[in-house]
Structure 1
Amino acid sequence: MDAFFVPLAQAAGASVDQIKLISCLLIAFPLGSVFVRIPSSKPHLKHLYNVAVTVFFFLPVLQIPHAFLQLLGSVVTTYAIAKYHTGPNMPWIVFVVTMGHLTVNHTIRYLRAQSYETMDVTGPQMVLTMKLTTFAWNVFDGRRPVQDLDKWQTSKRIPTYPSLVEFLGYAFYFPGVLVGPYLEYVDYMELITEKLYEGHVKENAKRNLPGGRKRVAYRKMVEGLVYLGIFVLLGSKYNFATILTPWFAEQRMWYRLLCFQPYGILERCKYYAVWTLTEGASILTGLGFTGYNASGASTWTGAANVIPLAIEIPSNFKVLLDSWNMKTNVWLRECVYKRVTPKGKKPGFASSMITFATSAFWHGVAGGYYLTFILGGFITTAGRLARANIRPLVMPAEGQSTTLAKRMYDLAGTIATAMMVNYVAVPFMLLTIKDSLVAWYRLAFYGHILIFSSLGFFYAGGAKILQAKEPGKATPNGSGSTTPVGEKTFTMPPSLDSVMPPRK
């Protein structure tokens, strides 16, 4: 098939592996339309269809059979562990095995200094690791009393162990097998059995599917291709690597800070492209149905992994993180953060740090990832403190829609968040600590200055001063409020994972 892909790669100015990956994502659209035509009365055919398409992607198209064999080995190993080990440590055994395997491959890739243009096992394995560890916890919850589970655990529990064919179909669900997003086993089976649409299919429908699916799916395909086009035309020339060039160093500081911001948008376009394409292909298979809106049109937001508008025009850092790589955030919250917290206790600092460490190891072993996640932790803390201590001062009075102060606060929050996400993402894309520090130096370390000056202000007494100014918060003697400096809630770590292999 290289005779077909090589000319396309030369014409587009991209690597052959990149063209192959995008081709697989586009091929998934017509294959998704075939998938829904397999009757739900023959679920085994749907499972086998998923496996067959995945084999087609890995062998004749991508030509990385060794990667598929590694993934298959992880799937079979997880299936055996979860089935025959019924003890409380079963999910953690699966976690260590799958994460350990992934870390080994991350290390091999790092030592080989492979560029992001090279497709290998690590990208798909990151998605599969989330699936397998989630499956293990779902099985574990299925063996526990329902009264011991929370709402999410109850809805995703697996009380009856699946057959190997069912599990293979789930593990190799083809629209998301290469770059995600992942899905829980219960949601996959509701897709296979079409239970997802019970009570929502209109009379005289040709198939047991709500209408409007194709409209949404192909709109997502167009959006994905637009993002891809932007990245191909501009992203290859204007990106974070430009900061390391002599030209950038020669510019005045105000110009560096100004022209640097669009680089982040262009870098993110490739993620928007692949995630929007996989979302569209998933919708064509019937995944993602979330009911009907007020006008009666069907909605298909359940397969979304990114909300670009909320990322580029965010009101605060938490909104941004909640809109980026959404499925990975769910995995970290449900399979790490909650699980490492002792029963009967609230999650605290230790739970947060373990979750951050898991996210870092999941992404890879390059030093740039850890610079991003460490700074990201401080950013979320500063954002939480600002929201807890400044926002109440600008909120409109009861019955008042908004105020100038509130609008200015929102505008400042949007600008600061956009600037911070671009700044914190630099090491993630440059990967090495040396390049990351050089880039931050050329940006005058503005992110560090903003964050640590804010933290210094709040913890040096600024929070008490602000709380005292809030109506009803001042104590009788005029001192500041005794309420905590900031809420002790956990904000998911920045999950800026690379759907394509890391940049060299």
Structure 2
Amino acid sequence: MDALFVPLAGAAGASVDQVKLITCLLVAYPLGSLFIRIPSSQPVLKHLFNIGITLLFFFPVLGLYSAFTQLLASVLATYYLTKYYHAARMPWVVFVIVMGHLTVNHIIRSIFQLSYETLEVTGPQMVLVMKLTTFAWNVHDGRRPAEDLDKWQTTKRVTEFPSLLEFLGYSFYFPGILVGPYLDYTDYMDLVNETMFKKLAVKGKNGRNVPAGRKRVAYRKMFFGLAYLGIFVVIGPTWNYGLALTPWFLEQSMLYRIAVFQLCGVIERTKYYAIWTLTEGASILTGLGFTGLSPSGETTWNGAANVDPLVIELAPNFKVLLDAWNMKTNVWLRECIYKRVTPKGKKPGFRSSMITFTTSAFWHGIAGGYYMAFMTGAFITTIGRLARGNIRPLVLPAPGAAPSIAKRTYDLVGTVITILLLNYAASPFMLLSVKDSFLAWGRLGFYGHIIIGGTMAFFYTGGTKGLRGLQAKQAKQTNATEPISTPVHEKQFMLPPSFDQLVPPPQK
């Protein structure tokens, strides 16, 4: 089928693999409308539909025969391990197998120096690793006493083991098989059985439980996804992080370099906004992502979202930014790694954070740029916590009062610093090479390290003490009755479990 895509690739100025990927994401829209027309009384047909469309994507369209075979092997290994191996370490055995398999393929990709434009097994395998390891934990939780589980574990646990067809349908759910977002097994079965819809008192068309509003939201997502894609295709080849490695960049003044670099960061992110927004829309058309009714009575479909571009580009702090980026992967890291390695009865600490960080690093690949981005982000999150715990309380308005000028200024400065540090820390993730990353940082005057180092030096050499004193004085003046919280620097240092999702896996 390459003959169909070569002319399109030439016209768009993209690789054939990129055109194939976008084609699959767009074709998923009408297929999603077909999927939801299959009655909930015919779940077998829905599972077969998912498997059949995934086979269509991998074989005639993408030509990834070996890749699909490898994915199927991981799926079958997970299925039979979770079914017959009941030991407490079962989820970790599954994790080692599927993550080890992914790491081997990352190494192979590196050996052959495949560009991010090349479609091969690691892209869909990264999504599948999240699904399979989550399923293993859900099954494990289904075998544990209910009183030992937290809210998420109770909601997502699997108490009735699925048939092989159900599990294959879940594993190969077609809108998310290539680039995500991943979903857990209980959400998939709710989708197939239309459980979330049957709770509604209002019926959709033809007396079915499926509520109206899907198409309105889904095709709006498609419009924005294509708009992001157009921006990247037209502007991306010129304005990207690689510009920092050119002689032209070195000829510019330092302030101009830093300003241009921020534009490059926005353009770099549009390709991820594009693919995630497109796949979100296709998922919504199948019925995934329903989150209830708004106060005005309209249906809302936010559950399949994986990114919120506006929040990311205008985030007042790093926490807000991270919560809006690669949302589903953040859930996986938190629920299947961060919390699982924490001893029972204890709060997650440095050990839990480091294990989560290492997992995320291996999940993304083996390029040195990934690790540079992760470590830089860890320190960015640390200074964010210091600022939030020591400066923010001084500018918060009284309960019920409008935000003060000081609070608005704090948020504005926070937004500027957040975007500066985001683009600085994320650039190695795109450049990949340690040498190129340091070269780019050097041509930016290492401004990110200066901000991080200067901020930490301020807080740890007396700044925290002075600010806490101001807080105490302010509390006394306003007759505050709540105790002052423990200084941030006295809490145990923790690496963020979710920073490494600043940039998603490179699309193959």
TM-score by length of 2: 0.96
CA distance in structure 2 between the aligned counterparts of 1:160 and 1:2, rounded to whole angstroms: 43
* Cα 1:474/1:298, change in 2 over 3 Å: closer
CA distance in structure 1 between the aligned counterparts of 2:197 and 2:204, rounded to whole angstroms: 15
Name 1:368's counterpart in structure 2: 369
- Check whether the contact 2:203–2:209 (CA below 8 A) recurs between aligned residues: no
Instruction: Tell me by how many angstroms 1:397 deviates.
Output: 2.6
SS in 2 for 1:36: helix
1:272-283 aligned at under 5 Å gives the runs 272-283=273-284
Name 2:16's counterpart in structure 1: 16
- Check whether the contact 2:99–2:129 (CA below 8 A) recurs between aligned residues: yes
Query: Is 1:333 the equivalent of 2:338?
Result: no
CA distance in structure 2 between the aligned counterparts of 1:301 and 1:93, rounded to whole angstroms: 33
Name 1:315's counterpart in structure 2: 316
Instruction: Tell me by how many angstroms 1:203 deviates.
Output: 3.8
SS in 1 for 2:486: coil
Name 1:478's counterpart in structure 2: none
Name 1:244's counterpart in structure 2: 245
CA distance in structure 1 between the aligned counterparts of 2:340 and 2:495, rounded to whole angstroms: 14
Instruction: Tell me by how many angstroms 1:456 deviates.
Output: 1.3
Name 2:481's counterpart in structure 1: none
Name 1:145's counterpart in structure 2: 145
- Check whether the contact 1:316–1:383 (CA below 8 A) recurs between aligned residues: yes
Q: Mind listing any 5+ residue stretches in structure 1 that lack a counterpart?
A: 476-480
Q: Mind listing any 5+ residue stretches in structure 2 that lack a counterpart?
A: 477-483
Instruction: Tell me by how many angstroms 1:490 deviates.
Output: 6.6
Query: Is 1:84 the equivalent of 2:84?
Result: yes
The superposition leaves residues 174-231 of structure 1 with CA deviations (integer Å, 9 ceiling, x where unpaired) of: 0000000000000000000000112225246323201101100000000100000000
- Check whether the contact 1:201–1:210 (CA below 8 A) recurs between aligned residues: no
* Cα 1:409/1:37, change in 2 over 3 Å: same
1:252-331 aligned at under 5 Å gives the runs 252-331=253-332
The superposition leaves residues 325-376 of structure 1 with CA deviations (integer Å, 9 ceiling, x where unpaired) of: 0000000000000000011111101101111111111000000000000111
Name 2:486's counterpart in structure 1: 483
Amino acid corresponding to residue 226 of structure 1 in structure 2: A
Instruction: Tell me by how many angstroms 1:398 deviates.
Output: 3.6
Name 1:94's counterpart in structure 2: 94
CA distance in structure 1 between the aligned counterparts of 2:146 and 2:420, rounded to whole angstroms: 45
CA distance in structure 2 between the aligned counterparts of 1:176 and 1:482, rounded to whole angstroms: 43
Amino acid corresponding to residue 199 of structure 1 in structure 2: K
TM-score by length of 1: 0.96
SS in 2 for 1:6: helix
- Check whether the contact 1:120–1:501 (CA below 8 A) recurs between aligned residues: no
1:355-394 aligned at under 5 Å gives the runs 355-394=356-395
- Check whether the contact 1:363–1:497 (CA below 8 A) recurs between aligned residues: no
CA distance in structure 2 between the aligned counterparts of 1:214 and 1:94, rounded to whole angstroms: 38
Amino acid corresponding to residue 417 of structure 2 in structure 1: A
CA distance in structure 2 between the aligned counterparts of 1:457 and 1:442, rounded to whole angstroms: 25
Amino acid corresponding to residue 279 of structure 1 in structure 2: E
Instruction: Tell me by how many angstroms 1:258 deviates.
Output: 1.0
CA distance in structure 1 between the aligned counterparts of 2:204 and 2:128, rounded to whole angstroms: 38
Greater Cα offset, 297-306 or 466-475: 466-475
Amino acid corresponding to residue 485 of structure 1 in structure 2: V
Query: Is 1:493 the equivalent of 2:498?
Result: yes
Name 2:480's counterpart in structure 1: none
CA distance in structure 2 between the aligned counterparts of 1:471 and 1:274, rounded to whole angstroms: 49
Instruction: Tell me by how many angstroms 1:385 deviates.
Output: 0.7
Aligned residues: 497
- Check whether the contact 2:204–2:212 (CA below 8 A) recurs between aligned residues: no
The two structures, once aligned, show a CA RMSD in angstroms of 1.5
- Check whether the contact 1:315–1:417 (CA below 8 A) recurs between aligned residues: yes
CA distance in structure 1 between the aligned counterparts of 2:452 and 2:185, rounded to whole angstroms: 40
CA distance in structure 2 between the aligned counterparts of 1:284 and 1:112, rounded to whole angstroms: 38
Name 2:479's counterpart in structure 1: none
CA distance in structure 2 between the aligned counterparts of 1:472 and 1:186, rounded to whole angstroms: 51
Amino acid corresponding to residue 157 of structure 1 in structure 2: R
SS in 1 for 2:200: coil
